[in-house]
Structure 1
Amino acid sequence: MRHERRGGRWRGRAGRAVAVLGLALLGAGTGFGTAPPPAQASVRAARSATVVLNNTSDRALVLTSDNLDHGCWTHEPPARIEAGASASWESESCGFMTGTEGSAFFAIDGESGPDLRIHWDNPFYGSNSYSETVPSGYKINRTGGDGNDATATYAFDCNSKMCDGIADEWKQHGVSLDPGDGSGMQFIDLPAMGADVNKPDIFIQVDWMEDTSPGNAHSHQFDAAAAKLLVDAFANAPVQRRGAPSSGVNLHIDAGPGSTMNFATGQTWGGYSRARQLAETTSLGTCDGDGSCNNDSRYQWNAFDAIKKAKGGFVSSGRAPVFHYAVAAHLLVPGTSWTGISPDGGSDIVLALGNQTGQVGDKNEQATDLMHELGHNLGLQHGGFEELNFKPHYFSVMNYLYSGDGLPHGADRFVDYSRTATTLDETHLDEASPPATGSGVRYDVKRNCGGAFIAARVDTAGYMDWNCNGSKDPGTVSSDVNKDGVQSVKLDGYDDWAHIRLKGGAIGGATVPGLPAPQKIHEPDAQVFQQIQPVDIAAPVTTATADPPPNGAGWNNGDVTVTLGATDDLSGVARTEYDLDGGGWTGYTGPVPVTTAGVHTLSYRSVDRAQNTEDARALTVRIDRTPPVTTAALGSTTNPAGWITADGHVTLTAVDEPGGSGVAGVSYRTSGAQTTPETTVPADTAALTITQEGETVVTFHATDRAGNEETEKAYTVRLDRTAPTSAFTTASEAIFVAVPAGGPHDDQYVTGTAGDNASGVDHVDVVFTSKVPGPTLVQRAGLSCSDGTHRHCTWRVRPPSGLGIYRVTSTATDVAGNVETPPGRGIDVIVVRT
């Protein structure tokens, strides 16, 4: 029968029609004159073989080829049989007196070893036969398969309960292996090293370089604290293999005799260790071409392989089928900044710790570096299932974003593979729903912000600022969060732990693999990490500046504009906002005007691109535009003419508007009778005493704390405490003629003068006292003053009309009410008849 290759699989060209032709020829040879009727074409084939394959391993089976030596396909083998799934195929005879025979070949998904081969043969004559070829680390069992219509059922499985490539009997009893380099059989005491048939086990040997040269002495031996981080991370892994009593993976790291083998008991590897110190070299390997590395070159494993296979080294230990092998070196290639390399699906690792802190790395850097490279051995890529990098929601040390020193949570760092698979639509990102981590820790999310990858403090902010504007936007936003130049509608995460491949490279193999092929370096370097900022845990700092600034008392008396400025020490300021008098937070775009009178509170804060929100600060703006009002009060009551006769006590009282800045001081000066220079009392009242007689003008005003100055006012105080004086200009013993009024000699007067230097003379009373029994007459003199102040006056009064001798006295009263006491010196006058 002729076969042809179609789509990578062998298919027979003959079909059921061949069987029909064979029956027709048989009929002709036995005397039948005609072919059987068409219905005879459905006669069942003489032989058939059905293969049922139950894949109970942890890996999918991928069909690489199939072929039929005899017969025809009824159902062809499937292209893929997932882990835990079953599939079947069938072939049958399709020729005269023939059987069916064929083979199917399946690769173990993710492994580069030999295929699983299943061969069946159900001949027309003779017994049925089957054969299988099984890759190392797996087993297969068959039941059934007899009869003309045979069904053979296969169970394909790992050779260990946990499918970790380490046989159960090795874990229980240890194993002696011949490395094939002349070292002889080597016993590996796996039970003593902590192997467990009920838990997956991963073993790593880490050899290290050490520089003992003076002035540069340092060791790349793997740190015990870093090993503890990794052991705990794997112990807490959400991996629970079939039959395992609990989840988790046992990780065993042999980093030398003094390294810890059992962190629960503190037991060291001691004599079980085969890890060794290596001589320091500047680099471990070269790249093809001229030896230097660039984007087009590939790493050459020759130097590493030489160390690995050196007599007495790793291969000589016989550990290759059990242990991953790592070398903690200084550098990969001179002039490069890569931190490590490992072949995908292999079991070799190089750590370039010389590019880490202090040339050896801290515990987080070492742990992350080793876990990252081990992840490639376990089948993980930088995007989980793909090489697409920088996916913010892919929380794994495989992701460059989290492969520097681990998964961040503020100042803390964690080492872990991704625990969940989520999908982002970069065209519709919901900032109210941060991506799930699958862990009890709410990691900070690193995403692209303006060309740099910045960690968003989701746990403290309570939202995910995808577009880096410093606020939680309603609805959805769009952003190229992984900086690949496109906004993908389906950016897939990956559940690493659910897909790790514990068997790979030399693990579970029968032989030590040869020199690895040159490998393109696709690990992060310094240029990559320059784009990835450290976690910013410090909030920005915002300052507020008022223009004009307040006076010394903290007040303004006009419009104020407030300018906000913010700085951030790392990720940069994303947003500044303010709240004026509780009106709600508003994004700051320019100076904020404050114009109304009163006391205002401007709260302000900034958010950086790491979503650290500054504690709100506050600036108080006080505006008072209205000057105070001052009143003057005199402590004494004035007479109706406005004069007082004792010292005048003046109180100046200033009042500012409610809610105003308050009175800063009262200023006054006096002029007139009493002169006082400008005086300011720093209070809302001022008191002064007027002691000088005459009119004193008090000029005053108040100023408030905002600098508003009241218009000057004036208050006049009139003080006269000295009585006036009077005197006669008529001579004593002057003789007057008694005449009736209106008669001859009616122009006779007693005259005098009166004076007062302050308020002025108001009036003069003249008393005529008869020296002989008779009435006493009091007459108000007529007053004539030379000026309006009545300070210098003359007076006159008619003498009595009765005959006699009179004693005459005068009493002057001034405007202030002061009365001359005692009366002025008197005279005598005589009234006679004509």
Structure 2
Amino acid sequence: MPRRHVVASAVFLLAFIAALPGPGTLRAENFDLSLLPPILATPPIGRDSDGDGLPDLWELRGYTVNGTYVNLPAMGANPWHKDVFVWMDYMVTPGSVDLGPSQTVIDNIKAVFNNAPVTNPDGTTGIHIHPVLKNQVPYAQTLGVSSNYTQVWVDFDTLKNNSFNAAYAPSFRYMIWANTYNQGTSSGLARNIPATDFLVTLGGWQTVGGTDWQKLGTFIHELGHCLGLTHGGSDSVNYKPNYLSVMNYFFQTWGLYKDGHWGDGGYPLNFDYQRIDTPSLNKASLQEGLGLTGADDVSAYGTRYYYYSGSTWYNGYSYAVAGGIDWNGNGVIDTAPVSADINGSGSTTGTLTAQNNWKNINYSANGQIGPTAGEARRKAASQEMPEELQHELDLETQQRMDSARPSAQNAQP
């Protein structure tokens, strides 16, 4: 290359580096970038190489809102590996019970997401979740009043606005480890599907604040709603035996039965979203000999289901769904198709479909995370809460399921 071209290129490169925007020049809402030719503004604000809703520029350099610099790189952000940031506040009861998570719970949350079967541009799998434990907020016996889902979020927002720096809103979900809401014992609540706000509310459970396993499963469950996941995967129908996900109440606090163990038997990675495809189940024509075979390999899994015999509902368990499942509970694997209300819906008709959750994560919450956060959040605030979120898992339901649990939970029946 001629010397004059080398010198010109060097001068141009030095000028480009000097003109790069510093941390204080980014604005989350209007992006007040330095006036560079478009070809030099690398990466552009719209580029999101890993698809996690956070622009590469934020993950490389951070951003500033109203004078507050949010240093995402220092908090572990990587433009080539998916990141999820969660600001966690917590309450402490008048009896000095900390309702927040132990370090074990936090570590297990990270482990579950690191184990996610999702690919990244850096050539690795998994999601780097950053559950940041922040501030103690004032204790409230309950948020909202009975059956009023507007007041819950009014009370929630009062606490949030006094603790959460709004500059973090474009990149962080926000949650509170609280006592109760709506004067009940519901385990938690998400603001919508998808959303950026949620609660874990185990203060009214037998172990005040919940056991570590209940905290782990409920956190992942409610965050799952924020990430666009539902109780039924493909729909809102709960208790599907073919929906092997912590989003299913069957598995929220026990974890999945996998490789011979329930999650709460000491296996945190079993508090998982569904990671495989499972076959649809026609309740009017169930092939007991097939179990849950017919799609992906299910040889590692067990499941739960309901069946009705005489005038009594029973909890059914299959510890090897690749084999036959006695859907109707008559003690044999029928060769002819049978009908059974295996999810306790009150009907023996209908088809139950599931979902590979990890393939359907909504990282940006429909734009509530990322450059359009302000506008998207205002739009989302005008939407009504889905009906399925108004009936989250409560203590009575959990106790009923626990009472029917096999005593030797890790043993084959």
Common fold, TM-score beyond 0.5?
yes
1:293 aligns with 2:155: no
> Structure 1: how far apart are the matches of 2:237 and 2:256?
18
1:501 aligns with 2:396: no
- Unaligned stretches of 5+ in structure 1? 1-134, 138-156, 179-184, 256-274, 287-291, 540-569, 571-609, 614-834
Structure 1 residue 322: Cα displacement: 0.6
Structure 1 residue 158: Cα displacement: 5.9
Q: Give secondary structure in 2 for the equivalent of 1:465.
A: coil
1:363 aligns with 2:212: yes
> Structure 2: how far apart are the matches of 1:460 and 1:401?
15
Partner of 2:132: 254
Q: Give secondary structure in 1 for the equivalent of 2:345.
A: coil
Partner of 1:306: 158
Q: Identify if the C-alpha distance between structure 1 residues 246 and 175 changes in structure 2 by more than 3 Å, giving closer, same or farther.
A: same
What is the CA deviation profile of residues 601-620 of structure 1, one whole-angstrom value per residue up to 9, with x for unaligned ones? xxxxxxxxx9954xxxxxxx
Structure 1 residue 192: Cα displacement: 1.8
1:431 aligns with 2:288: yes
> Structure 1: how far apart are the matches of 2:150 and 2:62?
38
Kindly indicate whether the alpha-carbon contact (under 8 Å) linking 2:241 and 2:305 is maintained by their aligned counterparts in 1.
Answer: yes
Aligned pairs for 1:370-769 within 5 A: 370-409=219-258, 412-413=262-263, 414-421=270-277, 422-435=279-292, 442-450=300-308, 452=313, 454-459=315-320, 462-504=323-365, 506-508=368-370, 509-511=372-374, 513=377, 516=381, 519=385, 521-533=390-402, 536-538=405-407, 613=413
Partner of 2:189: 341
What is the one-letter code of the residue matched to 1:293? S
1:173 aligns with 2:53: no
> Structure 2: how far apart are the matches of 1:452 and 1:176?
57
> Structure 1: how far apart are the matches of 2:71 and 2:222?
26
Partner of 1:667: none
1:160 aligns with 2:16: no
> Structure 2: how far apart are the matches of 1:359 and 1:406?
20
What is the one-letter code of the residue matched to 2:284? T
Q: Identify if the C-alpha distance between structure 1 residues 456 and 202 changes in structure 2 by more than 3 Å, giving closer, same or farther.
A: same
Structure 1 residue 499: Cα displacement: 0.9
Kindly indicate whether the alpha-carbon contact (under 8 Å) linking 1:204 and 1:324 is maintained by their aligned counterparts in 2.
Answer: yes
> Structure 1: how far apart are the matches of 2:61 and 2:249?
41
Structure 1 residue 444: Cα displacement: 2.8
Instruction: Please say which structure displays the higher CA radius of gyration.
Output: 1
> Structure 2: how far apart are the matches of 1:444 and 1:471?
18
1:240 aligns with 2:99: no
Structure 1 residue 530: Cα displacement: 4.7
Q: Give secondary structure in 1 for the equivalent of 2:125.
A: coil
> Structure 2: how far apart are the matches of 1:247 and 1:280?
39
Q: Identify if the C-alpha distance between structure 1 residues 427 and 408 changes in structure 2 by more than 3 Å, giving closer, same or farther.
A: same
What is the CA deviation profile of residues 82-134 of structure 1, one whole-angstrom value per residue up to 9, with x for unaligned ones? xxxxxxxxxxxxxxxxxxxxxxxxxxxxxxxxxxxxxxxxxxxxxxxxxxxxx
Kindly indicate whether the alpha-carbon contact (under 8 Å) linking 1:455 and 1:536 is maintained by their aligned counterparts in 2.
Answer: no
Structure 1 residue 407: Cα displacement: 1.7
What is the CA deviation profile of residues 227-251 of structure 1, one whole-angstrom value per residue up to 9, with x for unaligned ones? 222211111111125x341221111
> Structure 2: how far apart are the matches of 1:384 and 1:176?
37
What is the CA deviation profile of residues 542-586 of structure 1, one whole-angstrom value per residue up to 9, with x for unaligned ones? xxxxxxxxxxxxxxxxxxxxxxxxxxxx9xxxxxxxxxxxxxxxx
Q: Give secondary structure in 2 for the equivalent of 1:454.
A: strand
What is the one-letter code of the residue matched to 1:173? R
Alignment partner for residue 199 of structure 1, among 81, 90, 94? 81
1:280 aligns with 2:139: yes
Q: Give secondary structure in 2 for the equivalent of 1:416.
A: coil
Structure 1 residue 457: Cα displacement: 3.7
> Structure 2: how far apart are the matches of 1:279 and 1:254?
18
Kindly indicate whether the alpha-carbon contact (under 8 Å) linking 2:234 and 2:353 is maintained by their aligned counterparts in 1.
Answer: no
Partner of 2:42: none
Kindly indicate whether the alpha-carbon contact (under 8 Å) linking 2:91 and 2:139 is maintained by their aligned counterparts in 1.
Answer: yes
1:217 aligns with 2:100: no
Partner of 1:675: none
Q: Give secondary structure in 1 for the equivalent of 2:147.
A: coil
What is the CA deviation profile of residues 437-466 of structure 1, one whole-angstrom value per residue up to 9, with x for unaligned ones? 968773331111236462514239953221
What is the one-letter code of the residue matched to 1:484? S
Kindly indicate whether the alpha-carbon contact (under 8 Å) linking 1:136 and 1:510 is maintained by their aligned counterparts in 2.
Answer: no
Output the TM-score relative to the length of structure 2. Answer: 0.76
Q: Give secondary structure in 2 for the equivalent of 1:324.
A: strand
Q: Identify if the C-alpha distance between structure 1 residues 381 and 254 changes in structure 2 by more than 3 Å, giving closer, same or farther.
A: same
Q: Give secondary structure in 1 for the equivalent of 2:391.
A: coil
Q: Identify if the C-alpha distance between structure 1 residues 477 and 298 changes in structure 2 by more than 3 Å, giving closer, same or farther.
A: farther
Partner of 2:109: 230
Q: Identify if the C-alpha distance between structure 1 residues 307 and 489 changes in structure 2 by more than 3 Å, giving closer, same or farther.
A: closer
Kindly indicate whether the alpha-carbon contact (under 8 Å) linking 1:158 and 1:165 is maintained by their aligned counterparts in 2.
Answer: no
> Structure 2: how far apart are the matches of 1:394 and 1:453?
19
Kindly indicate whether the alpha-carbon contact (under 8 Å) linking 2:299 and 2:322 is maintained by their aligned counterparts in 1.
Answer: no
Q: Share of identical aligned residues, percent?
A: 28
Q: Which has the higher contact order (CA 8 A, sep 6+)?
A: 2
- Unaligned stretches of 5+ in structure 2? 1-28, 32-44, 264-269
Q: Identify if the C-alpha distance between structure 1 residues 386 and 471 changes in structure 2 by more than 3 Å, giving closer, same or farther.
A: same
Aligned pairs for 1:790-829 within 5 A: none
Kindly indicate whether the alpha-carbon contact (under 8 Å) linking 1:480 and 1:487 is maintained by their aligned counterparts in 2.
Answer: yes
Q: Identify if the C-alpha distance between structure 1 residues 280 and 532 changes in structure 2 by more than 3 Å, giving closer, same or farther.
A: same
Structure 1 residue 411: Cα displacement: 5.2
What is the one-letter code of the residue matched to 2:327? W
What is the one-letter code of the residue matched to 1:283? T
Q: Identify if the C-alpha distance between structure 1 residues 483 and 391 changes in structure 2 by more than 3 Å, giving closer, same or farther.
A: same
How many correspondences in the alignment? 351
More helix by share: 2
What is the one-letter code of the residue matched to 2:355? Y
Q: Identify if the C-alpha distance between structure 1 residues 362 and 453 changes in structure 2 by more than 3 Å, giving closer, same or farther.
A: farther
What is the one-letter code of the residue matched to 1:166? L
Q: Identify if the C-alpha distance between structure 1 residues 488 and 227 changes in structure 2 by more than 3 Å, giving closer, same or farther.
A: farther
Structure 1 residue 254: Cα displacement: 0.5
What is the one-letter code of the residue matched to 1:494? Q
Structure 1 residue 377: Cα displacement: 0.9
Structure 1 residue 500: Cα displacement: 0.9
More strand by share: 1
Q: Identify if the C-alpha distance between structure 1 residues 344 and 366 changes in structure 2 by more than 3 Å, giving closer, same or farther.
A: same
Q: Identify if the C-alpha distance between structure 1 residues 325 and 376 changes in structure 2 by more than 3 Å, giving closer, same or farther.
A: same
Structure 1 residue 160: Cα displacement: 0.6
Structure 1 residue 482: Cα displacement: 0.9
Output the TM-score relative to the length of structure 1. Answer: 0.39
Structure 1 residue 534: Cα displacement: 5.7
Partner of 2:165: 315
What is the one-letter code of the residue matched to 1:369? T
Structure 1 residue 483: Cα displacement: 1.4
Structure 1 residue 373: Cα displacement: 0.9
Kindly indicate whether the alpha-carbon contact (under 8 Å) linking 1:346 and 1:506 is maintained by their aligned counterparts in 2.
Answer: yes
Q: Identify if the C-alpha distance between structure 1 residues 443 and 309 changes in structure 2 by more than 3 Å, giving closer, same or farther.
A: same
What is the one-letter code of the residue matched to 1:348? D
Kindly indicate whether the alpha-carbon contact (under 8 Å) linking 1:442 and 1:458 is maintained by their aligned counterparts in 2.
Answer: no
Kindly indicate whether the alpha-carbon contact (under 8 Å) linking 2:114 and 2:128 is maintained by their aligned counterparts in 1.
Answer: yes
Q: Identify if the C-alpha distance between structure 1 residues 503 and 469 changes in structure 2 by more than 3 Å, giving closer, same or farther.
A: same
Q: Give secondary structure in 1 for the equivalent of 2:331.
A: coil
Q: Give secondary structure in 2 for the equivalent of 1:230.
A: helix
